[in-house]
Copies of this chain bind each other. A is one copy, B any other.
Amino acid sequence: MKENNIKELKTSPPLGGGGGDSIHVFAPATVANVVCGFDVLGFAVNEPGDEVIMRVTNKPGITISKITGDDGRLPLDPAKNTVSVSVKHYLESVGRTDLGLDIELHKKMPIGSGLGSSSASTVAGLFAAKTLLGDNSDPINQLPFAMKGEELACGHGHADNVAPALFGGFVLIRSYEPLDVIRLPYPPGLYCAIVFPDVDVPTREARQIIRNKILMKDAVTQWGNIAGLVSGLFMQDIDLIGRSMQDILVEPVRSMLIPDFYKMREIAMNLGAVSFGISGSGPSVFAFARDEETAKLITQKLQQHLTGIQIGSNAYVSTINDKGPKILG
């Protein structure tokens, strides 16, 4: 962790570093766990994502003037919203609590989908604030503040959604204490097909059903697979990536909360998916595909199947996001 950049900012944090007095940003959805990397791996996609419009105000403190796309589920109270809470931590760290910032949050993806919804919002908020302040320091400096937002959202300060949302690409959280985050390469042209079946799987509950104790031999299988996946990412070996993406520990439990999970896997794999699994704690599922056409066909057939069992769904097809958040205006 390079804390220096943050500390330097404390002395002279400029305002209006290219962003003027208001800014409109996007931050990406993320797929955590990546099947065999429970709690340590995640990647970002180009679609969906959340948007934040942030404006400098005259009154010190953070306000939330508007939230759209949340069906009224998210709090406007800045003390309870993950975006404002993480931005507040950031402003405190750079000694700019004198600032006034107003947040408009536009949710462009479903909440509780397992796609890092809260992370996307939080990272969008932090990126907006950072850009308004003209803070060009490494995004890694914002990870602790983003994790504060996760703590509020899920009861645990995980980084496997916020880190890829901040950096883009694939990210390994090797260790939490001390925090050690490694950006991994990935093969070009890898497409991600995501389907969100509209059922309720709260993150907290999805965590609670996971066993506390596991067999050593199953853990060995799992770390052989994560080592294989990481190797495949570096080697740009899509076959190796595919055959490494197996999870014998978490998926067998969490899949019970997802309608027709194994049937959906069968459909996706038969259509030529490289791999298939649960995104984060679900209920969203994702597949890797070698081309856009296959990815689109996978989402189409999965949505058809879900419709057939009276379950609504959203679907997204995109390449891996390689930059993290971006300025929209």
Mark A residues whose CB is within 8 Å of B: 37-41, 172-175, 180, 182, 184, 210-217, 219-231, 234-235, 240, 243-244, 249
Contacts and interface: CB of A to CB of B under 8 A. Distances in A.
B40 A224 contact: yes
A40 B225 CA distance: 10
B231 A172 contact: yes
A41 B227 contact: yes
Nearest to A177: B221
30 contacts: A38-B220, A40-B220, A40-B223, A40-B224, A41-B227, A172-B227, A174-B224, A174-B227, A174-B231, A174-B244, A175-B224, A175-B225, A175-B228, A180-B228, A182-B231, A210-B216, A212-B215, A212-B217, A213-B214, A213-B215, A214-B214, A214-B215, A214-B216, A214-B219, A219-B223, A219-B249, A223-B223, A223-B226, A226-B226, A230-B234
B180 A243 contact: yes
**Which of A220, A222, A243 has the most C-beta atoms of chain B within 10 angstroms of its own C-beta?**
A220
A232 to B, nearest CB: 8
A213 B217 CA distance: 9
Contacts of A40: 220, 223-224, 227
Nearest to A232: B182
A212 B37 CA distance: 21
Nearest to A184: B231
A231 B211 CA distance: 28
A219 B230 CA distance: 17
A180 B245 CA distance: 13
